[in-house]
Amino acid sequence: MTFLPIVDRELRVAARRHSTHSMRLVVALVAILLGLFFYAANLRTPPRLLAHHIFEGLSGLALLYCLASGRRSTADCLSEEKREGTLGLLFLTELKGYDVVFGKLAATSLNGFFGLLAMFPVLAVPLIMGGITSGEFWRTVLVLMNTFLFSLAIGVFASVLSWNPRQAMGTNFLLLLLLAGALPACAGAIAYFSPSHRVVPELLYTCPVYSFYLSTDARYRWEIGHFWWTTGVVHVLTWLLVALASWLVPLSWQDRPSSGGQARWRDRWRVWVYGDAARRKAFRTRLLDVNAFYWLAARAWFKPAGVWAALVFVACWWLYMRAVIHFQWADEFLILATALLLNTLLKLWIAVEAGQRLAEDQKMGALELLLSTPLSARDILRGQWLALRRQFLGPLLAIIAAQLLVILVVPPDSFQSDLRVRAFGMAGILLLLTDLVALTWVAMATALTARSPNHASISAIFRVLILPWIVFGAVAVMANLWVVTRGASAPEWRFYLGLWFWLGILADLAFGLPAWWQLRTRFRQLARQRFASVPSRLAR
């Protein structure tokens, strides 16, 4: 039999896909645009320092791409096969565990890998400009490749341990925090609480960010051993995770009777999530009397508690900044940073929750069953809105009340600071409300046609939240170019405030209104769109 036959097949299939070739072009164009953005933003700096800034910005974004792209590509690759019942069929043949794991890695990571390769020529431009050395460039390339493989290994190992996509993504993220964040957090705690404040570098070896930090010439010259040790440890962890996934995957698809301890823990978890029998009955009766889909989307009664716990964590962070780092109560940075953190947390959470239920039902075929009942599209949408209101209305009101209290009551450092805080605070509150409405409609609309719940959430977040910031950055760069070339005065903060606010409102209207209209008028057409035949590009 051919060595790694699934890899051979997947590479042949991928070579015929249009996305395999277009992905490299798209990522390269994005990298070029980002390079131009960093160039324009640092136009006043000397040429060598300018090239160094461009390389730092592009390589930092490439590192984030490696950490996110690999895990996102492989997070649900094997758990989806288990849900569909096709993973066990593979092991009726002579295939081994490593054949399946490497085949899935090749099938899911090829586009991300080609995207990473497309970034390297753009990263080499600062080398030609004289801002970095060849050693610094090739060490950064090595770290990025190593990080991408590490991210893939985390994703495929988490997928072996999971059954549903939400569990796979959660396990994926927790595993990354455990491997790359737990020991560095211990090193930070030791450095903070010890009298000598000494950092133990050996505890940072499992973190790819540490090897990226040491790849520059200034740090590599003094920390050669630490750089190669952390690179080697991350690489060994990658192969260890792949080996464990290959060993576990033949055993993970079978249904086994749970032991007594596992059954007890599962029952306790179910009671904690859904409540005991009496609470479930009362809760179900109350929700079903209001709306059937409301019960389906909100039957996990603990969800509001999770949002409140996140708000308590942010409040503790704020108190820590005040008590330990000695920020003043009326410090402008502390107020605006806390408001931004709270608003962003709530927006991302609602973007995930708004389309999760519909996307899962659409993927499993349960949405067709719901639409065959007397439930109308309006009932489904109303039930989803009621579920979101139950989970987020209380925390939303608490966030708005806290921001208004801080904006209107806390004494300012100066008149100008007070004016900025109040202007940004009120604009942030208004934009929070409009963003939440737009995110909900866009997430529900994209959930009906997306390939997975994660794609629905990411699409809504990109359109409503990320795209306005991209336009904001482009306009800010053009303003900077105008200032440098024309010798004009730099825009005041009121210009950037108005630009940020109105771009957000425009994005909410541009994406939220069409999504609302489609859900109200074309819900069933969108729900059955995945069954319709897709015409060729030439026909379109």
Q: What is the pLDDT along the chain (540 residues), one digit of tens a residue?
A: 556 666 777 777 777 777 777 777 888 888 888 888 887 777 777 778 888 888 888 888 888 888 888 777 777 777 777 776 676 666 667 777 777 788 777 777 778 888 888 888 888 888 888 878 888 899 999 999 999 999 888 888 888 887 777 677 777 778 888 888 778 878 777 776 667 667 777 888 888 888 888 888 888 888 888 889 999 999 999 999 888 888 887 776 665 555 555 556 666 666 666 666 776 777 777 777 778 888 887 777 677 888 888 888 877 777 776 666 665 655 666 677 778 888 888 898 888 888 888 887 787 777 777 878 888 888 888 888 988 888 888 889 988 888 888 777 655 555 456 677 788 888 888 999 999 999 999 998 888 887 777 778 888 888 998 889 888 888 887 777 777 676 667 777 788 888 889 999 999 999 999 999 998 888 888 877 765 554 544 455
Nearest CA to 258 out of 269, 242, 273, 249 is that of 269
Tell me, what's the pLDDT at 143?
Answer: 92
For 192, 342, 395, 407, 424, the CA distances from 402, given in Å and listed in that order, are 31, 10, 10, 9, 15
| CA–CA dist 440, 153 (Å, integer) | 33
Residue 537 main-chain phi, psi, to 5 deg:
-65, -35
Sequence spans of domains, the chain: 1-252, 275-530
Tell me, what's the pLDDT at 92?
Answer: 66
Confidence (pTM): 0.73
For 100, 162, 449, the CA distances from 249, given in Å and listed in that order, are 8, 11, 30
Residue type, 293: F
440 within 8 A of 355, measured Cβ to Cβ: no
Tell me, what's the pLDDT at 275?
Answer: 63
Tell me, what's the pLDDT at 327?
Answer: 58
DSSP letters, 16-41, are T-HHHHHHHHHHHHHHHHHHHHHHHH
Tell me, what's the pLDDT at 362?
Answer: 81
For residue 285, give every residue at least 6 positions away whose Cβ sits within 8 Å of its Cβ, in sequence order, or none. none
Nearest CA to 527 out of 364, 386, 385 is that of 364
- The tokens for 268 are 């306790």
Tell me, what's the pLDDT at 81?
Answer: 73
Residue type, 407: I
Q: 473-494: buried (b, 16+ CB within 10 Å) or exposed (e) per residue?
A: eebbbebbeeeeeeeeeebeee
| CA–CA dist 185, 172 (Å, integer) | 19
| CA–CA dist 81, 87 (Å, integer) | 5
Tell me, what's the pLDDT at 476?
Answer: 80
Would you give the distance in Å from CA 429 to the centre of its chain? Answer: 23
Which residue bears the tokens 């060849």?
A: 134
For 384, 460, 472, the CA distances from 437, given in Å and listed in that order, are 13, 12, 21
Tell me, what's the pLDDT at 205?
Answer: 84
Would you give the distance in Å from CA 114 to the centre of its chain? Answer: 20
| CA–CA dist 121, 35 (Å, integer) | 12
Q: What sign does the CA torsion over 398, 400, 404, 410 have?
A: positive
Show contacts of 325-331: CB within 8 Å, 24+ apart: 328/413, 329/410, 330/410, 330/411, 330/412, 330/413, 330/417, 331/413
**Secondary structure of residue 215 in the 3-state scheme:** coil
Residue spans of alpha helices (H) in 42-164: 47-74, 77-84, 87-90, 97-123, 125-129, 134-161
